[in-house]
Amino acid sequence: MGRRLSGRFIAGMTVSDALAACQHVNGEGIAVSLDSLGESVTVEAEARASAAIYHQLLDAVHQRGLNANVSVKLSQMGMDFDPALAERVVGEIVEHAAAAGSFVRIDMESSAYTEATIAITERLAARYPGRVGAVLQAYLYRTAEDTERLLGQGIRIRLCKGAYKEGPDVAFAAKAEVDANYVSLMKRMVTFSQEGKGVFCGIATHDETIIEELLAFVRSNKLPQSAFEFQMLYGIRRDLQRQLAADGFGVRVYIPFGSEWYPYFMRRLAERPANLLFLLQNFLRK
């Protein structure tokens, strides 16, 4: 079962595996964001080793002419024991990406990291404009304000619903509330991109109802397909990814890889049981 799961939702164990998966997905007209799995390192050597993989990815993507960028987690770069180290290490990755004409997405973790993650993204975006972006989670109450905060600085956003277990003091509990907030925020983002601000955002969802609502919104407001891109996970709704790409929309697939796939799955499933149902529903999809 572990091999079957890893084969469907994880590209493999090595950088070579990830690059091969990237090339295959690119061949279908779909862009990629590469994610080397691993979280919560405890010493600087581990943080540096994690960063080295990203430097290797950036070089390989550039040399092979792949349509891909990278996604990093601050806890993987030392955030839990030395926030200043994490910012330096990620800053070096962003600097490398800027030199290679690429882009770094700083992923969002639990709400305990939200403010620090946004602040680090802001500081790096000031140094490397257009080369670093953030992820915002629609289930958090604060996300509407964070959206305006980042858009106002021209920082690209990836909007997701959120996969961590959060309490009612910081997050909407009901799915209907999360969905409604997501729809409101995505409309704001794709509209803002046409206000002369030049902020290109990623709409990260596999929810067909939400996707159809966005498509109707784009048509009714005569927004160009280039105003945004859909972002989805490797192995999830591959049929929908291909259809959207065939219809002329930008689609980006997040491809995770690495030996840390097992603890990655276990943490996600333990944090939010709904994640298990989501995976099982997609396991047998084509």
Q: Where are the beta strands (DSSP E) in 1-57?
A: 31-36
What is the spatial distance between Cα 152 and Cα 48, in angstroms, rounded to a whole number? 32
Asked if 237 contacts 279 with a C-beta cutoff of 8 angstroms, the reply is no
Catalytic residue among 35, 107, 146, 179: 107
* Both tokens assigned to 155: 């920082």
**CB-count burial class (<10 Å; 0-12, 13-18, 19+) for 40:** middle
The question of whether 82 is a catalytic residue gets the answer: no
Asked if 133 contacts 124 with a C-beta cutoff of 8 angstroms, the reply is no
* Both tokens assigned to 264: 């990655």
What is the spatial distance between Cα 25 and Cα 232, in angstroms, rounded to a whole number? 12
Catalytic residue among 105, 131, 158, 238: 158
The question of whether 179 is a catalytic residue gets the answer: no
Task: Report which of 197, 189, 263, 259 is spatially closest to residue 228, judged by C-alpha positions.
Answer: 189
* Both tokens assigned to 229: 């891109």
Asked if 109 contacts 117 with a C-beta cutoff of 8 angstroms, the reply is yes
Active site residues: 107, 158
